[in-house]
Amino acid sequence: MLRAVLRGGVICIPFSGGQKVVEMRENTGQVIVREVSEAPTPKEVSLTRLTRTEKVRGQKKWLWMRRFFTEDTSPDNHQIIEIQRRASWIGIALILQALNEVPHITYLPYVPFIHPWTGIIPFILVLGSLLALCMAFRTTAHKRQAEQSHNSSHANTRPHRWQRIILVCALLTSIAGIVILGRTVALSFLMPPEYSNDGTSLDTNAAILLVEGRNPYTDSNIINVVREFPIEAYWTTPLRVGQFANRLEYPSASDFRSVLATDLKAGVAPEFESRVSYPALSFLTLVPFIWLNIFNVLAFYLFCFIVLVAIAWKIARPELRPWVLLLSLANVSMLISVSSGNLDILNILLVVVAWLLRERGWWSALFLGLALSTKQLSWFFVPFYAMMIWRQYNIVESIRRLTIAGIVALLINLPFILWNFHAWIAGVMAPMADPMFPEGVGIVGLSTTPLLSFFPQMVYNVLELAAMFVALIWYWRICKERPEAAMVLAIIPLFFAWRSLSSYFYCAAFPLFLLMAARTLPAKRRYTRQVLDQSMLWFDHNEPVMNDVPNPVDVRVAFQGVYDLGTWAATKLALVRQGFSSVIIPSPKSAPPPTRG
């Protein structure tokens, strides 16, 4: 029995469980005694507690994911939610690229029937990674974006199931990345030089020749490189001449060893690329190591990777920094390029800085020029850079920056051009002009399977140009909203090229996320005209600003101190000039009107 007292229209029911009293008649001052249902049984209480415990445990199970997926679903935080969703797509790309680095020998013995079709595996994995990267920078209509923002503010704070799966897989992939990073550190500081990339061996040898006072573009020789560095024969680049003439199938490891052994005895190796095949900055950056008698230059490329990650960490908001750490460690393919001394690491670092400093005029053009002086892969970014500056500013500014970048690249290579122009141009154009074998993970990789045969090289060139045309049209439409898309669109044409090495595509995912993270920061004004009226300044600050694109404050990484000092000096000088002018030269607004008469 339960006694309910009704006094003054207020019903007091002193019980904690059971069903509520359905109906009570209001009668002031009357004591109503009504029988209610019994309290819940101990079994029901136990089941209720168990259900609540399982619910709390399920919530705690995904509690650690709050570091990667924010719980703040307010409209103001929608940009962070969107970047975290796009980071999941980048994680998919990194996982697929990591799977592409698994040696075929590890699984072919168990599935021998796919041996003739091994060329299609890297094709599918790299194509899937490119599609995932395109999904990462895909633009969303404003109406749909507003609907997603409204829905996300009322949705469950936990991420979608596919995002949780990708996050767990990326964490597992990062374990392999940590192992490779540790191995890279050991190779850089604790072991003798070992370059699995003949380009690094040739660049190091070029730096040695330059220190000795010899021209690297004329005196480079693969025979001396093989004798100087412990490299495997199949780490070199074969040419379709000599013993490899009149064939399109890539030589096997045994073919490499036998032909190279014969060439070592003869002292001449026409079947292997001996030229320094890159612009001058590729080996000029290694000269300080040679001066210090350090012939292991892997530490330099490791340093470039660390700088790239440090920039991403510095410019990213705290909500995105766990993704910076995860994607840098899960980037197994890029870490393998670092461990092999791949020049793409330095090249993409300079390209990324050029994009980050796109509102700093000649600073951006300077780093673009440095990238052009490093590797030919950066040349593919030039039309995208020109288009971005054209769309954000005007065509005159685009031409001006390209001119500055071209002058920088020319000045770096000018000594070697004057030294021996023919040798320099033959070396720089070697990747396009020399008779190299068709190789890669793109369309040409299908020709190693029964699916397709090799087409003439002109067919691949036409496909590459067509893909570049489509990519430029795509970028023209989205470059204002997604300037970082160039990191992917610039390399898509290489998927259709005669040579589409996997390393061409490995340095796109992390820079894409880096530039995305830079755009999440609040916009900042560039000049002191916010504080002072522009008429007070005697120097011109009439440079156009980017429309609808937040100004990334990542410049603080290297230039904040210089920028702040210059801003402070300009402000002080303008104030002094204003005070000086008010005393000696009256302002046109305050000056008395001229007398008439």
Task: Please give the tally of structural domains in the chain.
Answer: 3
Task: Give me the pLDDT at residue 109, please.
Answer: 83
188, 226 contact by CB (below 8 A): no
Of the pLDDT bands very low, low, confident and very high (cuts 50, 70, 90), residue 537 is very low
Model confidence at 510: pLDDT above 80: yes
Mean pLDDT lowest for which of 16-30, 422-436, 449-463? 16-30
Q: Hey, which of 73-82, 151-160, 168-177, 446-455 has the most confident mean pLDDT?
A: 168-177
Task: Give me the pLDDT at residue 2, please.
Answer: 46
- Spatial CB neighbours of 337, under 8 Å, sequence gap ≥ 6: 344, 345, 503, 506, 507
Do 339 and 472 lie in one domain? The reply is: yes
Portion of the chain with pLDDT greater than 70, in percent: 73
Mean pLDDT over the full length of the chain: 80
Strand order in the sheet with 2-7: 10-12, 2-7, 31-34
- Asked if residue 272 is part of any domain, the answer here is no
Kindly report the pTM of this predicted structure. Answer: 0.76
Do 508 and 553 lie in one domain? The reply is: no
- Asked if residue 196 is part of any domain, the answer here is no
Mean pLDDT lowest for which of 172-176, 276-280, 552-556? 552-556
Q: Which of the listed residues 518, 548, 569 is the one where a domain comes to its end?
A: 518
Do 441 and 565 lie in one domain? The reply is: no
- Asked if residue 81 is part of any domain, the answer here is yes
Which tokens in the block code for residue 253?
Answer: 């490891």
Of the pLDDT bands very low, low, confident and very high (cuts 50, 70, 90), residue 107 is confident
Residue of 428 and 104 predicted with greater confidence: 428
- Enclosing domain of residue 566: 528-584
Do 370 and 404 lie in one domain? The reply is: yes
Do 357 and 478 lie in one domain? The reply is: yes
Do 533 and 497 lie in one domain? The reply is: no
Determine the Cα–Cα distance for residues 146 and 160; give it in Å rounded to an integer.
19
Model confidence at 527: pLDDT above 50: no
Determine the Cα–Cα distance for residues 409 and 432; give it in Å rounded to an integer.
19
pLDDT digits (tens, 9 = 90+) for 291-332: 999 889 999 999 999 999 999 999 998 889 999 999 999 999
pLDDT digits (tens, 9 = 90+) for 370-396: 999 999 999 999 999 999 999 999 999
Task: Give me the pLDDT at residue 43, please.
Answer: 57
Do 482 and 419 lie in one domain? The reply is: yes
Do 320 and 440 lie in one domain? The reply is: yes
Do 431 and 532 lie in one domain? The reply is: no
Determine the Cα–Cα distance for residues 280 and 298; give it in Å rounded to an integer.
18
Task: Provide the 8-state DSSP code for 12.
Answer: E
Do 473 and 539 lie in one domain? The reply is: no
Q: Which amino acid is at 331?
A: N
Do 418 and 469 lie in one domain? The reply is: yes
